[in-house]
Amino acid sequence: MSTIRIGSGAGFGGDRIEPAIDIMEQGEVDYIIFECLAERTIALAQKQKLKNPNLGFNELLEYRMKKILPVCKENNVKVITNMGASNPIAATKVIKNLANSLGIKGLKIAAVVGDDVFCSIPQYSDSKLIETGEKLKSLHSEIISANAYIGIEGIVQALENGADIVITGRVSDPSLVLGPLVYEFGWDKEDFERLGKGTLAGHLLECGSQVTGGYFADPGYKDVPELWNVGFPIAEIEDTGDFTLSKLHDTGGLLNEATVKEQVLYEVHDPSNYLTPDVIADFSKVQIEQIGINEVKVTGATGKKKTGQLKTSIAYTDGYIVEGEISYGASGSYPRAKLAAEIVNKRLDYIGVPILEKRFDFIGVNSLYQDFISDQLTKACTDFKDVRLRVAAKTLQKEDAEWIGYEVEALMTNGPAGGGGVRVHVKEVVAVASILIPEEEIQVQVIYEEV
């Protein structure tokens, strides 16, 4: 095959389905990927799986597959997705049942497993946390899930065995794209230049519309046409690994050098050393050239040998966060909001709620940047007309978080004049820390269903 066309069908767990279906129907793509796992999504899925062993995959899996399966069969598009979350095997069973009920035959569905290392966590208790340098066993809270970012191995194996749909749990996001490229072109796993280029293609596709005008528009500076109808990207990749990005003509959005440059550096630290399980990709010499309307050619990425260490996300419970908000308007709103903050603060001391961390923000004044930047931006103005106090605090116990919420609510009757729009929200914190695990300690396996 001279080129492979891969479309992006989702950039986050709850993304829109229409742009994906459009690409599958009109984009002449060979593959479509759905990237649906944020850092802690898998922990939330794991909690579901503990309650019900048939759950633990992306909540929109069935909804999406109902729409995808007929198109995937009709247009011969293979699907690769991490929607399996903490239970890829259960996800393949759901898809099998769905295919049966839709009367679709001749589909091979693969589950890639092995990323889940929850059961072997005790053997890593002396491993250092990447974030803090402390040992894993220093986390005193309950560990909910542990998943290694695995690479292309399982995806390639599934495709070699004829899978039409590949469902993974945690894999590195670019591997969703690099997997089919290695399979189709037969790239050597030591061909670091091609692996680096394919990783860049994956990196640019995995966030959906973020390369086609999403997360970009700034009216008057960076205008994006018809953003409401933004189209998702398609990469046409050559055997050399270089590729051209495009989107469907009748969609909204924008694909130009600027949108691509922003996304190349998105969530990247050292652009010469982008670590994945497959390669250390190097984006530092990338050439980005617009070659047509909404068509951008990307060349010049390369790579080096992988580290052999897999980043592994450990999700753990970390107390509770309460957020309480109340608004004050018109003249004097900022002084009234500040008085309200002072009242809550004194009340929390007075009733003696144990608090790990707290913070007071004034939405409309300093809630995004705190004081230094906010003062510069507003020229130290204090005459705000619409200020919302936000009290946020972290506690070990849920009851304590609730007590803080009551104090914010109490501002309605016991606080300054004209406080309205009170909202209080308490949530359990599922935090994520990371360790490194040698890749040879991970056993990737592929399990199949067929209809």
The contact set with another protein (CB under 8 A) reads 39-40, 130-131, 215-216, 218, 220-223, 254, 256-258, 261-272, 283-288, 290, 293-294, 300, 315, 318, 321, 357-359, 361, 363, 367-373, 376-377, 390, 392-394, 429-432, 434
How far is Cα 13 from Cα 16, in angstroms, rounded to an integer? 9
How far is Cα 7 from Cα 32, in angstroms, rounded to an integer? 5
HSE-CB at 182 with a 13 A cutoff on CA atoms is: 28
**In contact, 425 and 331? CB cutoff 8 Å:** no
Classify burial at 214, counting beta carbons within 10 Å of its beta carbon; exposed 0-12, middle 13-18, buried 19 or more.
buried
Least distance in angstroms from the C-beta of 39 to another protein: 6
Classify burial at 411, counting beta carbons within 10 Å of its beta carbon; exposed 0-12, middle 13-18, buried 19 or more.
buried
Helix (H, G, I), strand (E, B) or coil at 414: helix
**In contact, 435 and 130? CB cutoff 8 Å:** yes
Cβ nearer to another protein, comparing 183 with 283: 283
Cβ nearer to another protein, comparing 31 with 124: 124
For the record, the structure tokens of 269 come out as: 């630290």
Cβ nearer to another protein, comparing 45 with 315: 315
Least distance in angstroms from the C-beta of 200 to another protein: 12
At residue 50, φ and ψ (nearest 5 deg) are -65, -35
Helix (H, G, I), strand (E, B) or coil at 217: coil
Crossing angle of the two packed helices 333-351 and 398-409, in degrees rounded to 10: 140
Least distance in angstroms from the C-beta of 109 to another protein: 31
Place of tokens 């099998």: 96
Cβ nearer to another protein, comparing 298 with 444: 298
Cβ nearer to another protein, comparing 8 with 367: 367
Least distance in angstroms from the C-beta of 380 to another protein: 15
Least distance in angstroms from the C-beta of 241 to another protein: 17
For the record, the structure tokens of 174 come out as: 């670019």
Cβ nearer to another protein, comparing 152 with 298: 298
Least distance in angstroms from the C-beta of 211 to another protein: 11
Cβ nearer to another protein, comparing 92 with 366: 366
Q: Which among 32, 20, 307, 17 has a CA at the least distance from the CA of 176?
A: 32
Cβ nearer to another protein, comparing 25 with 262: 262
Least distance in angstroms from the C-beta of 116 to another protein: 19
The size of the chain, in residues, is 451
How far is Cα 92 from Cα 447, in angstroms, rounded to an integer? 9
Least distance in angstroms from the C-beta of 38 to another protein: 9
